[in-house]
Amino acid sequence: MRKLLIAGNWKMNGSLALAKNMIHSLKQARLESEQIESMLFPSFVHLSSMLELAEGTKIKIGAQNVSEQLQGALTGEISLPMLQEIGVTHVLLGHSERRSLYNESDELIFKKTKLAVEQGFNVIFCVGESLEARELGDTKSVINKQLQALLASPALLNHITIAYEPVWAIGTGKTASPEQAQEVHQFIREKVAAKDLARSQSMQILYGGSVNAGNAKALFAKPDIDGGLVGGASLKVEDFLGIIECIR
């Protein structure tokens, strides 16, 4: 049985006060005894403090991005060894904001993913179609293309969690219906199964896009939806905990 993973992506939001409050509340929620896991992606600046706050718990803390180089004259970038040094074990890659606002290509995202896994990290690998692609009926072909390089390297799959985030549902208040999301999740799991059947059964596939306490239960009840990558609703303790509460 796959556990449900509820992950919060804080993007360029959050503060030390939120970090303290959130970790404190997640500790109180005592998820260890249940089939629910939690993960948070704060800004780089807050990683060290959050790792310290989460020490001794099962709350996972990940980075929102990383450089595709291990070191060098790359002003403003953060490397995998730097993350490793402070104890980060998870990295979020391929988020649609990185793809669209920072022009990250499928090639670059795969390069980062491969390097991260080689360096011992686990990667939350995001895919998702635009509204235009959905309306044209191209959803599956877009997802297929985004997954292509990854699926051509099945050895990496043991260290990958896939997050399906339709771009039209991110930060818009529009959510994919449980049926729409399930259809894509099933498609993704079948693609993984064709490469590694065992891994396809153990891999958590997350849904992201305006997840909140009102829609989480129906989404996560679908057989191939194993939790959520939550943006806006992860920025308030009561909203994030509300998602966990509604699936308990």
Give contact residues for ligand PGA (rule: CB under 6 A). Answer: 9, 165, 170-171, 208-211, 229-233
The least CB distance from residue 92 to ligand PGA, in Å, is 8
Active-site residue identified among 37, 129, 165, 185: 165
Q: Any residues with CB less than 8 A from the CB of 243 and at least 6 apart, and which?
A: 6, 211, 212, 213, 216, 228, 230, 233
Q: Is 132 a catalytic residue?
A: no
Helix (H) or strand (E) holding 90: strand 90-93
Q: How far apart are CA 75 and CA 191, in angstroms?
A: 38
The least CB distance from residue 193 to ligand PGA, in Å, is 25
The least CB distance from residue 174 to ligand PGA, in Å, is 9
Q: Is 68 a catalytic residue?
A: no
Active-site residue identified among 68, 95, 97, 185: 95
Q: Any residues with CB less than 8 A from the CB of 28 and at least 6 apart, and which?
A: none
The smaller minimum CB distance to ligand PGA, of residues 42 and 208, is found at 208
The smaller minimum CB distance to ligand PGA, of residues 6 and 211, is found at 211
The smaller minimum CB distance to ligand PGA, of residues 62 and 232, is found at 232
Which tokens in the block code for residue 72? Answer: 């060098």
Of 223, 192, 225, the closest CA to residue 207 belongs to: 225
Supply the residues annotated as catalytic.
Answer: 95, 165
